[in-house]
Amino acid sequence: MNPSVPPTPESPGRKTNIPDKSSPRHKQQQVEGVPPNANSKTPADQVKQQHQREPERVATEASTAPSSTSSTTTGNSSNATTNSNEDGNGNVIGEYVLGETIGKGTFGKVKLGLHMLTGEKVAVKILEKKRIVQAADVERVAREIKILKRNRHQNVIQLYEVIDSPDRIFLIMEHIDGGEMFEYIVAHHRIREPEAAFLFRQIVEGLAYLHSNEVTHRDLKPENLLLQSNRHNARQQQQQSTNSTLLVKIVDFGLSNTHDGGRLLRTACGSPCYAAPEMIQGRLYRGPIADMWSLGVVLFAMVCGFLPFEDSNTNMLYKKILSANYKMPTFLSANVQDLIRRILETDPEKRYTVDKILQHPWLAGVQNPDISGYDVGEGVKSDEIKTRHELVLNQLESLGLPRDEQAPTDYAESYHPNAHIR
């Protein structure tokens, strides 16, 4: 997914060169170690392709392995066949009714799901076991679900539940309906700095959390950042100096890996335009530091509306990255220019870390938002949740389960009605 950039104050008519998702370059970037080679498409082509191709990331990104994974809820196939039609709409899996298809992926499709008692919307990724046959695929999806189960942060996508049936695996994921950061950049041409700082701070916080859990993302880009709007805009605007009320979620851990104990990584993967120099050179690299480079490219794309490094010739693209050959638009403030330069540092030892980024003057006074006003599954502590739980208790009672036989709920801890990974 990628467009061409809109006019900037500096260069009217300049187009974004963020690569199009439908191009061969974008397809190849998901194959570890395979160099891409393709031209970007126009914004019109990109928008058309976005509606025709796999919008799975708009809902969520998740993969898993066959039934050998340890944290699954075993169900039988009958749970997924009640009231079905040809497309699977109306099927019931576990406690969820499946709705429209909102995405398609390598191993299956993503459907909108509705919790039968609470009415909670979720994204259900359906993985066909018959498609997960190669050893590399099994390893990749097993690793991804392992990583997803670690995640409990407001700026990282949440996995609620894994349901296993004889033929399929169902990943019950947090549903995010605000679209991608990529689409947001395209729609606004570029993001003005006050709002960009508010959104960027959230990305850094989410990445810091992942790194603290020894997870390297390895495919950080605007397409893998989803946005959730705030239901209580007025209150949120009072808390922030910017008009933005969007919550950012990092998604897609298909290429992620763990760097337990500071282990160095070797595999070159991800999107070429966002790849760190040390990764391109085929050297062993520190995962978190390589993620920092991608973060710098994301920041540049947010505030400029186009990528710092782009070329239709892959070899030329890599040369530009290795030499940090890019032009900084003069309409950017001195502070954001300084931060970009410090992150896009070719020497990994000198490159800014998350701690230094958070201390930079450009982010002074910018705070991560209070998530109480968002429809998200992390850290919810509100009367609304208690009301929903009361509805569940009433439903259970109507089905013949007395209140005194129902398990008590402790509201002293953050609670989400669907957050029960088993």
Is residue 330 scored above 80 in pLDDT?
Answer: yes
Is there a domain that residue 239 lies in?
yes
Q: How confident is the model at residue 240 (pLDDT cuts 50, 70, 90)?
A: very low
Domain co-membership, 122 together with 184: no
Q: 13-17, 95-99, 252-256: lowest mean pLDDT where?
A: 13-17
The string of DSSP letters for 118-139 reads T--EEEEEEEEGGG--SHHHHH
Domain co-membership, 227 together with 126: no
Look up tokens 């309906």; give the residue. Answer: 177
Is residue 357 scored above 60 in pLDDT?
Answer: yes
Is residue 138 scored above 90 in pLDDT?
Answer: no
CA angle 139, 142, 147 (to 5 degrees): 120
In the 8-state DSSP scheme, what is residue 370? P
pLDDT given at position 375: 54
Name every residue whose Cβ is closer than 8 Å to that of residue 348 and which is 6 or more positions away in sequence: 276, 278, 285, 286, 289, 290
Mean pLDDT over the full length of the chain: 76
- At residue 54, what is the residue type? E
Give the separation between CA 161 and CA 171, rounded to whole angstroms: 6
Active-site positions read 219
- Last-in-domain residue among 127, 157, 174: 174
Domain co-membership, 314 together with 252: yes
Which structure tokens are listed for 376? 């998200």
pLDDT given at position 370: 72
Q: Which of 395, 401, 398 lies closest to 417 in space, CA to CA?
A: 395
The CATH code of the domain that includes 206 is 1.10.510.10
Give the separation between CA 309 and CA 275, rounded to whole angstroms: 10
Is residue 343 scored above 70 in pLDDT?
Answer: yes
- Last-in-domain residue among 115, 149, 174: 174
Which structure tokens are listed for 260? 């337990």
pLDDT given at position 361: 97
Domain co-membership, 209 together with 106: no
pLDDT given at position 57: 29
Give the separation between CA 35 and CA 25, rounded to whole angstroms: 8
Beta strands, E only, 80-224: 92-93, 96-104, 108-115, 121-128, 159-164, 168-174, 215-216
Number of residues that this document lists for the chain: 422
Is residue 419 scored above 70 in pLDDT?
Answer: no
Is there a domain that residue 266 lies in?
yes
User: Which of the two residues, 16 and 169, has the higher pLDDT score?
Assistant: 169
Beta strands, E only, 199-286: 215-216, 225-228, 247-250, 257-258
Tally of domains in the chain: 2
Look up tokens 């970037």; give the residue. Answer: 29
Q: 95-109, 196-210, 303-317: lowest mean pLDDT where?
A: 95-109
* Percent of the residues in the chain that have a pLDDT greater than 70, as a whole number: 67
Is there a domain that residue 212 lies in?
yes
Is there a domain that residue 115 lies in?
yes
- List pLDDT tens digits, range 29-70: 433 333 333 333 333 333 333 333 332 322 233 333 333 333
- At residue 7, what is the residue type? P
User: Which of the two residues, 365 and 24, has the higher pLDDT score?
Assistant: 365
The arithmetic mean of pLDDT across residues 354-376, rounded, is 82
Partners of 250 in beta bridges: 156, 225
Give the separation between CA 413 and CA 113, rounded to whole angstroms: 26
- Determine if residue 125 is labeled as part of a ligand binding site: yes
pLDDT given at position 387: 63
Is there a domain that residue 124 lies in?
yes
- List pLDDT tens digits, range 370-394: 765 455 554 333 445 556 667 777 7
The predicted model scores a pTM of 0.72
Q: 88-92, 181-185, 228-232, 313-317: lowest mean pLDDT where?
A: 228-232
- Last-in-domain residue among 330, 348, 371: 371
Domain co-membership, 203 together with 80: no
CA atoms within 13 A on the CB side of 321: 26
Give the separation between CA 299 and CA 305, rounded to whole angstroms: 10
Give the separation between CA 353 and CA 292, rounded to whole angstroms: 7
Is residue 206 scored above 90 in pLDDT?
Answer: yes
Please answer whether residues 142 and 254 qualify as being in contact, where contact means their C-beta atoms are separated by less than 8 angstroms. no
Domain co-membership, 62 together with 123: yes
Please answer whether residues 122 and 176 qualify as being in contact, where contact means their C-beta atoms are separated by less than 8 angstroms. no
Give the separation between CA 56 and CA 317, rounded to whole angstroms: 28
The CATH code of the domain that includes 70 is 3.30.200.20
Domain co-membership, 154 together with 184: no
Name every residue whose Cβ is closer than 8 Å to that of residue 355 and which is 6 or more positions away in sequence: 208
Q: Which of 109, 71, 79, 77 lies closest to 97 in space, CA to CA?
A: 79
- Which residues span the domain enclosing 118? 57-174
The Cα-based distances of 109 to 86, 104, 153, 294 in angstroms read 14, 4, 25, 28
- Selection from 105-114, 180-189, 239-248, 367-376 with the highest mean pLDDT: 180-189
